[in-house]
Structure 1
């Protein structure tokens, strides 16, 4: 029985996994094919090998302090100063296929970041008042943030802030399963359309984007395309993926605080403009896309019902209104 951890070159030149690993576990050991010799920057994909070749070309041999199986993983501790602790994880991926990944504490941090969220104010607001929809199940409490919550029947979103009695920002919370289900059923599009009517809105997902490509009950490519189409159709309502529930809550807290501060600044700007001295005139405000679209449609121009307008339409609007201004009409 060999008590060392062995790494050899894979004699199969056609294999995409150029190395063999031999773990000193059991009488015959565990032999795996691997892509790398150590998981330095990311998890290393492995695959079971037929066995350890008699004439193996060993490239590395390291004494082992401990090699123990714990459930669906093998903990491996090597007898050296650096790159000594790792884990072989047996799991299932897309389509229910079995898979093996070789990881370290450093590479697995990407899934569960070992960080603590700051307790600082959001955009300088001492106690951010967040409205929570009464229909929200297992709602965020914002216990670690400088915020208070108030249950309210919200017309849109799960969490919101208001200014002068009007909702100025809203956040829709989604789990990955809820996001994909609503996307495939078409409900997500209606929700994004409603959120787009709010000055500041976003959807936050309690999961990493990479998890989309590990779905087994929905085609990852279809989901990815659907999310991309949503981003293109409603660019003012981003879908933001976070690592977990805690990170999603923190992101929503910061977003709502920043949106409220922006709304206050915009309202202050309008107040200052409204109080200009007598005799001071300003040029007319630039029309919105909706106003120009309605004007163009009334004159029979070929314009779409949504999205950007062609530069020719804007040019025609300016030409018509400049002409009206010059004639005094």
Structure 2
């Protein structure tokens, strides 16, 4: 493919969709999308919007410009391969859905990488705990919160954790949700992280739930510029300093959500399973 085919990533002055991705083919704009992230995490798709009109030049900062090796529309998907050593393969999935409360259709666009597709093919099932009554608080700053079917949910600032189970007016369980990049970034300030986890551990039945595999943090390519050995020591130090606080490496967003839902249901039920 000609080097006139280019992938552009621009940073915008927009808090909701701060990135703009375009693919140019022979001087023609083949696709233009607004995204929440510059590149998807391995187990999480990034929600996008189709661009209606280009933003003014003064509000755009070019982050990267990469030659496109392959741009292949395939039904509802567009597969893209970039000419670089890492973060080469991705795809955009275009889904059309009908409104539930009115006539017409709307479009959803998801930016994902091959690992995301694999994660969505796991055998885990969401909704295993549907119908269990829960009263939950979701931290006011949480973006794209997990789903807890049938739960009574309210938003408010949490001093510790991302999700809290409430019973009789008190927090009975806390879960701190961590993405791969978010958790890795917090290792830069271990003392602040330890203080956060101390507050979390003060509430019984609390846990840190990570949307990644433990092995992801030992992959030198994934944790660069950190040495993988340093990351391993930091994670071990977390378990040593907070022995009563489980750190669950759930693998992906879906499984992390399911694990937290199960914990809250078990605590709400006094530790009894539905089969007891």
TM-score, normalization: structure 2?
A: 0.52
Please tell me whether the aligned partners of residues 126 and 254 of structure 2 are also in contact (alpha carbons under 8 angstroms).
no
Unpaired stretches in structure 2, ≥5 consecutive residues: 1-68, 72-82, 89-114
Q: Does 2:130 align with 1:140?
A: no
**Residues of 2 paired with 1:172 and 1:201: CA distance?**
8
Name 1:163's counterpart in structure 2: 167
- Unmatched runs of 5 consecutive residues or more in structure 1: 1-69, 73-89, 99-107, 266-329
Please state if 1:229 is matched with 2:237.
yes
Q: Secondary structure at the match of 1:262?
A: coil
Structure 2 distance, partners of 1:141, 1:199, is 22
CA distance in 1, matches of 2:118, 2:154: 32
Corresponding position of 2:137: 131
* Partners of 2:129 and 2:261 within 8 A in 1: no
Q: CA RMSD in A?
A: 3.4
Deviation for aligned residue 1:71 = 4.1
Q: Which residue of 1 aligns with 2:248?
A: 240
Q: Secondary structure at the match of 2:269?
A: helix
Closer, same or farther: CA 126–226 of 1 in aligned 2, 3 Å: same
Q: Which residue of 1 aligns with 2:121?
A: 114
What TM-score comes out, normalization by structure 1 length? 0.44
What is the Cα deviation at residue 226 of structure 1?
0.8
The aligned length equals: 168
1:216 is aligned to 224
Deviation at 1:261, TM superposition (A): 2.4
Q: What is the distance in 2 between the residues matched to 1:179 and 1:255?
A: 21
Per-residue Cα deviation, 1:161-213 (whole angstroms, up to 9, x for no partner)? 01211101000111111111212212221111111100111111112222212
**Contact 2:175–2:206 at 8 Å: present in 1 too?**
yes
Which structure has the highest strand share of the two?
Answer: 2
Shift of 1:245: 1.5
Structure 1 pair 159–109 and aligned structure 2 pair: CA distance change class (3 A): closer
Query: Relative CO higher for 1 or 2, CA cutoff 8 Å, sep ≥ 6?
Result: 2
Could you say what secondary structure the match of 1:251 adopts? helix
**1:264 shift after superposition:** 9.3
Q: Does 1:182 align with 2:190?
A: no
- Assess if the C-alpha contact under 8 Å between 2:139 and 2:157 holds in 1: yes
